[in-house]
Amino acid sequence: MLHALRTRLSSRLLIPGVVALLCGSSLPLPAVADDAPVLPAAPAPPHAAAGSDAATDQFIVKFKESAAPGSALRKESVSTVARDVGVPVSDIRATAAGARVLRPDRTLDAAETGKALAALKADPAVEYAEPDSRMYPAAAPNDPLYSQQWALGDASGGMRLPGAWTATKGAGVVVAVVDTGITSHPDLNANILPGYDMMSDPAYSRDSNGRDANPRDEGDWTAAGMCGDGIPASPSSWHGTQVAGIIAAITNNGVGLAGVAPEAKILPVRALGPCGGYLSDITDGIIWAAGGSVAGLPSNPTPARVINLSLGAAQPCSATLQYAVDFAYGTGAAVVAAAGNENMPASSSSPANCQNVISVAAVARTGYLAPYSNYGSTVDVAAPGGDMTQTSQDGIAVAFNFGTTTPVVSEAYAASEGTSMAAPHASGLAALLMSRLGDLATPANVETRMKATAKNYSWACVSPKTCGSGALDATAALNFQPDRTITGTTPAISGQAVVGNYLSAVVQNWTPGDITFSYQWKRNGTAIPGAQAVGYQLQPADVGATLAVTVTGSRFFGASVSMTSAPTATVAPAPVTAPYDPVISGQAIVGGILTANPGVWQPAPVALSYQWLRAGAPVTGATASTYTVTADDKGKTLAVRVTGTKDAYLSAQRTSASTATVATGAVPAPVQFTDKIGAPNDTYTVPSATGVEYLVAGKVVPAATYAGSGTVTVTSRATAGYALVAGQASSWTFTFSPVVFNDITSASAFHTEIDWLGLKGITEGWTLSDGTRVFRPAEQVNRDQMAAFLYRLAGSPTDFVPPAQSPFADVPTTHHFYKQISWLAKQGISKGWEEADHTWTFRPASTVNRDQMAAFLYRHYLHLHPGSPDFVPDATSPFADIPVTHTFYKEISWLAKQGISNGWKETDGSTTFRPAASILRDQMAAFMYRYKVQP
């Protein structure tokens, strides 16, 4: 009957204050998994973070030699701690590592612990001091379900044990399990050796006598609050029995499970109980298991070759623990430690982070890193630990006991998961290797073989969650032939002995098949430093020498064999090579600069020299990578020859293609386009330039000014003996605008009048950034602009010279329209305003009103028609809003009489002129057009 169990890995030392993760509830299940009920597991208790200042009730202190037992120095050290914390402190016993265990009369809180440690570490008589931490089983609780032993088979996460058992089943090897002890189990009893109970505190050992020769698991059940406030009660985990069964459950007995090393023996060392176990008890257990002496204990008659530590704490490796591990390693015992179940870097978990341990992560049936497993650079290998996230059938089958507190007599099994389960799988394989390796059975060789044969799936443990060398493969690890001698044939060398070429060592017919090869290339019989790969690229230093290669075959067992090939022929130099013929950039014109582009010659770096050629002959002194074309080159072609040289290589030459025939450079002068207002006035001017002729529509045209319309393209080309200088403009295209103003269309009011204004040159409007011209008909007209319009309307008199002194105080001689304004004043068209200070002003920025416009035009007319009779207006005004007394009544009446302005028809039928309104640019155009064209 299989019971499903999951015990959560604490992987922590209870550096005082850390609470153990205890086993979940367990109930018997039917033998058939399909009929098995899913039972809830006991909730896992919370865990406080471990730390050096957490609460504790014991310390491990290593005194210096000067503080001998019974000395005043030692007594003073103990008294000092007692005074500092205000609690009596007893020196209760020695550890196997030569340290002492000190115990206060009560558990110290975190502050008191820190104070005591500080006092001890500052004591000159103390070599080191640390909390006597508690460690806990490294496993985890889950729903009970039946699970098969996939971990021993061919699953991606399995160890492939059947193939390994043909070599050995671990006979003669003792595996120590430092854990909760052992229970009687029919699948284990025959493989259990007399061990020892290392629990020194009777209050926790539950057998009333502290350390004794009976490693029986008395149960690690706890009552609520026993291991800390808020920690719930939990049943016994029988963790030591689980671990022992994975390692060495008996096979072929018709019951239960198969162990990884079913013929190995288990040495149970009890160091964990309720609320975990003290570090001092655990380390004494490690040393005793490895054959070391522990004060007050008998010698271990069956020293272990493998020690399993499925326990841990989240802290650095302590000095006490490292000492114990190093001792065991020195005796020839492989120490295997669970990496921890916190899903964090194993570097934070002890003892997995100690030196000289094999740190084991957990993988699932799929081969992927288990989601709970610790990981990282501290991990050496991975082994089956199970993942019961989906089903307990993916857990690890373990031996178990149905007692909830003390053990009961029964044959029980469960499904479990955790790095507590992964570590004993690795310990079992270590036992197989210890049995198989014979004289080579050392911890280092065991670890090396495990790593060398592990299944390193790239997808299984992805950075940063790496799992060392990969998942263990027992068949591969045990697949070697210790009694086979290496034999082989002399290696050969493939490849041509020319510098720069690659040579390869050819190794054939070497046996047996598990040989690892190494290589050493030699020049004239002397080893070449760093040349230790299967291939070698011949270097310049090899020219004139012969090469050989020594191949060494090595195996996990037996002596290595080395053989040296016959030497190659004398290494010959090779020519340097160019990627292509040199390419010349630049223009072949007199004064132009040409540049040779040779590419990267191989093997880089190659020294390059240059010789420029004129019509195939060398040009004296032209030996740089660039060349300035001279008049002597005119009418000839140029080329460049590049020579590459390199020590121990043959030189080589490459010559470029010839340039075009050298000519005199010609620079086309630009074509000028004049896009005047209105299509009839557009022109373009073709210039004259030496060595250049211009073409329009493919025909040569002489230098001249031509009428332009539509789109005109002018191109240029060199005449005989010339070449157009590269980078200069050689083609010009221009589209003449047939529109006078781009914002005036046939639908625009006064479009005829506005276009006439532009065509007559009275206004050019504004040219925008895109080259279009606009009139802006709705803008008002300023007085200075009106002066310019009237001046141009009069034909822009060329005989007028503006006076040196302005007629208006507000119009300086530098004003843009000074000439036009002074002309207006000279002709009497505008006198401006006399100000209070008797100066005259023009007010150029003021807008022109309609009545002022009438006056300007009337006076302009009189100027252009001297001697004309003065206009006599009618007695009746033509406009309802212009009385006969209006200042400009005569001028406005004249405007109406000439048909220049008809005013507006109002809704009441009257006609108005609106004299005070500012005149707009389109209205101004209409007035001027009618004034100039209609009369």
Is 359 a catalytic site residue? no
Q: For strands 583-585 and 396-400, give the pairing.
A: unpaired
DSSP bridge partners of 912: 904
- The tokens describing 437, both together, are 């390796």
Q: For strands 492-494 and 526-527, give the pairing.
A: unpaired
Whether the link from the prior residue into 605 is cis, omega within 30° of 0, is yes
Measured CA distances, 494 to 501, 505, 519, 541, 564 (Å)? 11, 7, 14, 20, 14
Backbone angles phi, psi at 838, to 5 degrees: 70, 10
> How many of the other CB atoms lie within 10 Å of CB of 38?
12
Q: Which of 119, 48, 126 is nearest to 80 (CA)?
A: 119
Q: Which residue has the tokens 């399993």?
A: 308
Contacts of 347 (CB under 8 A, 6+ apart): 353, 376, 377, 378
Q: Which of 320, 279, 328 is nearest to 303 (CA)?
A: 328
DSSP symbol at 471: B
Q: What is the DSSP string of 359-391?
A: EEEEE-TTSSBPTT--BSTT--EEEE----SS-
Phi-psi region at 782: left, alpha or beta (left = phi > 0; alpha = psi -120 to 50): beta
* Separation CA 6–CA 420 (nearest Å): 11
Q: Which of 200, 280, 392, 420 is catalytic?
A: 420
Q: Which residue has the tokens 């990267």?
A: 600
Contacts of 625 (CB under 8 A, 6+ apart): 595, 596, 598, 608, 610
DSSP symbol at 174: E
* Separation CA 351–CA 138 (nearest Å): 11
* Separation CA 175–CA 266 (nearest Å): 5
Q: What is the DSSP string of 743-809?
A: T--TTSTTHHHHHHHHHTTS---EE-TTS-EE--TTSB-BHHHHHHHHHHHTT--TT----SS-SST
Strand order from edge to edge, sheet including 607-614: 617-618, 607-614, 638-645, 652-655
The helix (run of H) or strand (run of E) holding residue 694 is strand 692-696
Backbone angles phi, psi at 593, to 5 degrees: -110, 125
Is 799 a catalytic site residue? no
Beta strands in 524-637 (DSSP E): 526-527, 535-537, 547-554, 561-564, 583-585, 593-597, 607-614, 617-618, 626-628
- The tokens describing 510, both together, are 């070497």
Q: For strands 664-666 and 722-724, give the pairing.
A: parallel
Q: Which of 179, 217, 220, 380 is catalytic?
A: 179
* Separation CA 675–CA 697 (nearest Å): 20
Q: Which of 3, 239, 815, 860 is catalytic?
A: 239
Q: Which residue has the tokens 């570090």?
A: 279
Burial of 789 (0-12, 13-18, 19+ CB in 10 A): buried
| CA 34 distance to own-chain centroid | 49
- The tokens describing 208, both together, are 């009333």
Is 815 a catalytic site residue? no
| CA 881 distance to own-chain centroid | 83
Q: For strands 607-614 and 617-618, give the pairing.
A: antiparallel
Q: What residues are annotated to the active site? A: 179, 239, 420
